[in-house]
Amino acid sequence: MVATPSKSAPFAHGALVLITLNSPREKFWGAVLDINPAGISVRGVDLNSFDEVTGMLRADEHVMPATVFFPLTRLERMELDVNNGPIPSLAERFESKSGRAAARFLRVDSEERD
């Protein structure tokens, strides 16, 4: 299961986030793997590919999330992927469009931490 963010550590391992990057400007959705002084490691998809990935999964095509590292110098903003009233989170949209659980696709539900 995806880590439930706590008030003391909302961006813990497994938290689903939306990351806004600069130089070049990009948005990336995924699960936090690690945050350290050099940057952030995440497993997910570029937001530009989100609909294509969900469509491919719905069609039972093989798609894998990318595991990437972004240096903190590129990080403009990171926010938790949560619903906003009637607006669903990206994880909820992912599940309704692909028919698969976001945590399972991002492979954070079965990982163990040190």
* pTM metric for this prediction: 0.85
pLDDT one-digit tens code per residue, 10-48: 889 999 999 999 999 999 999 999 999 999 999 999 999
Domain definitions of the chain by residue range: 16-105
pLDDT one-digit tens code per residue, 41-93: 999 999 999 999 999 999 999 999 999 999 999 999 999 999 988 999 999 99
Per DSSP, 3 falls in state P
For 84, the token pair is 């906003």
Cβ atoms 83, 16 nearer than 8 A? no
CB atoms within 10 A of CB 5: 18
CA 92 to chain centre: 12
3-class secondary structure, 10: coil
Cβ atoms 24, 46 nearer than 8 A? no
For 80, the token pair is 């938790």
